[in-house]
Structure 1
Amino acid sequence: MVVSHFLKWIHTARVSERAAAASALARAYINAELPFEDRCAAEAALTLLLDDASSKVRLAIAEALSMSPRVSMAVAAAIAEIGEPEACAALLANSGADIASLSFRRIAERHGHLPSLREALISDARLPADCRHMLLIKLGETLKGSPLVLALMGRARTERVMRDACVKASLTLIEGTRQEEHAALIEHLRLRGDLTASFIIRTIAHGKVDFFGSALVALSQQSEQRVRALLAGGHDVALQALLRSAGLAAATHAIILRALKVWREVANGKRLAGVQEVSWLMLKELGGQSAEGDLAGLVKSIHLDALRENARGHALAIAAA
């Protein structure tokens, strides 16, 4: 075998010879259709050459391999785990790289605080939803600690504004998340302590019924098929039992059921409604504008945000006409 002779030869070869041979072997490895045994032997030889005493040999391998866009999942994992920010940025910029979801998470965990890496991650369509949420939180934490922001708004108001902004960004994130990714995003939110009753109420108020259902599956430990069936046409008694099993307080059931009924009618083409109308009907379940308490305050804030958003949209439409 050629590789076996090569391994014996490198012990006596000069640096320039080893570098040239290492470059040729690396090019053959990425360009040639080697039999399985020869490919394994070539990998072993290249791995051995990574420990060569001369940097010229190592550089020759790096230059040869850098010409190939076919970065394997294992190589991507190694870069994500120990690579410097520059290496991770180059990996993300490589459209031929096979990057696992776990590797995206490790890059986000290790370098998500850096604006350039954060931007590269968010712009990558392959980025899992839970990683996007993690980066949103990191951005909020960065802004929250900014001396300029603190000076302008004060710590208490900064905390509140950033918390609200992260919640709204999370709702927007759900829109672009495929249903098969819901479970991962929900688990991420749960582990962070963000999968709260108020967040779940916001999701149903905003019509994120699929995500709401996925959250109920995770919290109630009931089958997805049963939860979907109940949301699509279940009676109030059965739905209330589902909400209880998910740990949602009885005080929240009426407004959730009201919102769900409206979104059902919208989905069936029987009604036109948006967040503004749904949140107003939820508030009426609590007694209208005169209602007090934390739950009423939450629904009022959802309704007020919807009013503002609709007003902005209407103003922009008028300006564009």
Structure 2
Amino acid sequence: MVAYQRYVQLSQSRNSEERGQAAHMAALAYLGHKGPADEQAALYAALMNFLDDPSVKVRAALAYGLLHSEHAPRPIMLALAQDAPVISRAVVQFSPVLLGSDLMGIIRSGDPDMLVAMTARPALSQRVALALVRQGEPDLCVRVLERADISLPDDDFIALADKWGDDARVRGVLLKRRDLPGIARLHLVERVRAALSDLRIVKGSVQPRRLERLLRDGCDNAATAIGEREAGRGARGYVAAMAEGERINARLMLHALVHGHVLFFADALAQLSGAPRAKVFTILDGGSRAALHALLTRCGFTPAVRNLLARMVGHARKADLADDIAARHYVVSLLIEELIAEHDGVLPPSLDEAFAYLNEQNIALARTAARGVMPAFAAEAPDEIMLPDMSAGRLALPAA
């Protein structure tokens, strides 16, 4: 323990190191004080006096002693928050006595270093977090969004996705957020698609038409997968936004069924038809073909598309399309054969887009299902002769 007389000697020393020791001791003594009130008042006065010390070292020693305490005097901490940068940044980052209103005043000052320090506070209110991300600085957005303990309103997430969709760093942090609204996530996926399609290394590696198909299929899968997740959470805003933007079409509905995203498919039908969700599920699960056609009619689909979707629902009832790739391939192949047979090979124009999608999916699913089949078969029958000897001739396409 240090006697008061010794403390007075240290506090009046010409050596800033000794005055710093005195400031730190006074801070600790104040926080741990359990004696009479007049003694505490004297300690408080001593802390106030150190605010006027000309040495940054002394004021920093005072701040260090009070920095993490919830019982530090607010007037002193507010004064230190306006001190030299090395002191103010530490106070803003760590002091728990600063209120949201205090932090809002600091935000209005616009000091970049102070704002960065604020993003590292142990606890940050939603109000302060929103004020920080609305500053329009990508670095601040990233720092705030990386914190899983801070939640933001859906509208602000959507606004951030719209504003920073082309910034890869902010976009990546937003996509990692589990609480990101589905419609904002889809918007960011579309920005990723645009960015990929503009990359020289991508355009130079993949034939343009195939690249367009791959990116479009990826976006379709993202749209229905996000919709499936949102539907599972009971969120209705995503499918409502999709319908309002007229983004629910036959291709997307087929994609949802082919990939087993039935919750999104049902939510989309409920949104388009205005029917209760429970009734839609009942019809999809075991309703008659007439009931299914009536539901699809209320959704505004053309007769040819209604017939196609009804056929797909019938096949989906008998197969596990969510996880079984072979089942998906089988159902899509069967549907293509049925359409060709039904229309004698001359499909109506209203089915052109859907039929093109089914053909694309048939090829993609066949490729996926075929991977590894022949090596596995050859491993079981290594001595079987499969191919003729081709060493004598050369192969070339006629136009090559």
- After superposition, residues 291-302 of structure 1 pair within 5 angstroms as 291-293=345-347, 294=352, 295-302=354-361
For the pair 1:164 / 2:224, whether they are aligned, the reply is: no
Please state whether the residue corresponding to 2:317 is helix, strand or coil.
helix
**1:20 maps to which of 68, 77, 80:** 80
Please state whether the residue corresponding to 1:68 is helix, strand or coil.
coil
For the pair 1:263 / 2:316, whether they are aligned, the reply is: yes
**CA-CA distance at 1:241 after TM superposition:** 0.5
Q: Which residue of the partner structure matches residue 181 of structure 2?
A: 128
Bigger relative contact order, structure 1 or 2, given CA contacts below 8 A and separation 6+?
A: 1
2:256–2:265 CA contact under 8 A, matched in 1: yes
Change in 2 beyond 3 A, CA 1:61/1:197: closer
2:243–2:272 CA contact under 8 A, matched in 1: no
1:266–1:273 CA contact under 8 A, matched in 2: no
- After superposition, residues 1-321 of structure 1 pair within 5 angstroms as 19-20=79-80, 31=96, 43-44=100-101, 47-48=104-105, 63=117, 65-147=118-200, 149=202, 159-174=212-227, 176-180=229-233, 183-266=236-319, 274-288=327-341, 291-293=345-347, 294=352, 295-312=354-371, 314=373
CA-to-aligned-CA distance 1:243-283 (integer Å, 9 cap, x gap): 0000111112233222222322347xxx9972112212322
Q: Which residue of the partner structure matches residue 36 of structure 1?
A: none
Change in 2 beyond 3 A, CA 1:315/1:221: farther
**CA-CA distance at 1:67 after TM superposition:** 4.9
More displaced, 147-156 or 107-116? 147-156
**CA-CA distance at 1:50 after TM superposition:** 5.5
1:174–1:211 CA contact under 8 A, matched in 2: yes
Please state whether the residue corresponding to 1:165 is helix, strand or coil.
helix
**CA-CA distance at 1:138 after TM superposition:** 0.3
CA-to-aligned-CA distance 1:67-88 (integer Å, 9 cap, x gap): 5232222233333333311111
**CA-CA distance at 1:121 after TM superposition:** 1.9
CA-to-aligned-CA distance 1:277-319 (integer Å, 9 cap, x gap): 2212322331259734414333222222221221236479789
TM-score, normalised on structure 1? 0.74
CA-to-aligned-CA distance 1:38-88 (integer Å, 9 cap, x gap): x9xx555554566679x6xx967974x455232222233333333311111
CA-to-aligned-CA distance 1:185-205 (integer Å, 9 cap, x gap): 323433444311221122123
Distance, in Å, in 2 between the alignment partners of 1:82 and 1:276 is 50
**CA-CA distance at 1:207 after TM superposition:** 2.3
Of structures 1 and 2, the larger Rg is shown by 2
Q: Which residue of the partner structure matches residue 3 of structure 1?
A: none
Change in 2 beyond 3 A, CA 1:313/1:226: farther
State the aligned residue count. 295
Please state whether the residue corresponding to 2:237 is helix, strand or coil.
helix
Q: For structure 1, list consecutive stretches of 5 or more residues without a partner in the other structure.
A: 1-8, 33-38
2:107–2:132 CA contact under 8 A, matched in 1: no
Change in 2 beyond 3 A, CA 1:29/1:43: farther
2:142–2:170 CA contact under 8 A, matched in 1: yes
1:81–1:106 CA contact under 8 A, matched in 2: no
Distance, in Å, in 2 between the alignment partners of 1:112 and 1:61 is 23
2:272–2:298 CA contact under 8 A, matched in 1: yes
Letter matched to residue 345 of structure 2: A
2:104–2:128 CA contact under 8 A, matched in 1: no
Q: For structure 2, list consecutive stretches of 5 or more residues without a partner in the other structure.
A: 1-47, 60-75, 83-87, 381-400
**CA-CA distance at 1:179 after TM superposition:** 2.0
Q: Counting helix residues as a fraction of each chain, which structure ranks higher?
A: 1
**CA-CA distance at 1:144 after TM superposition:** 2.6
Distance, in Å, in 1 between the alignment partners of 2:335 and 2:109 is 70
Change in 2 beyond 3 A, CA 1:309/1:176: farther
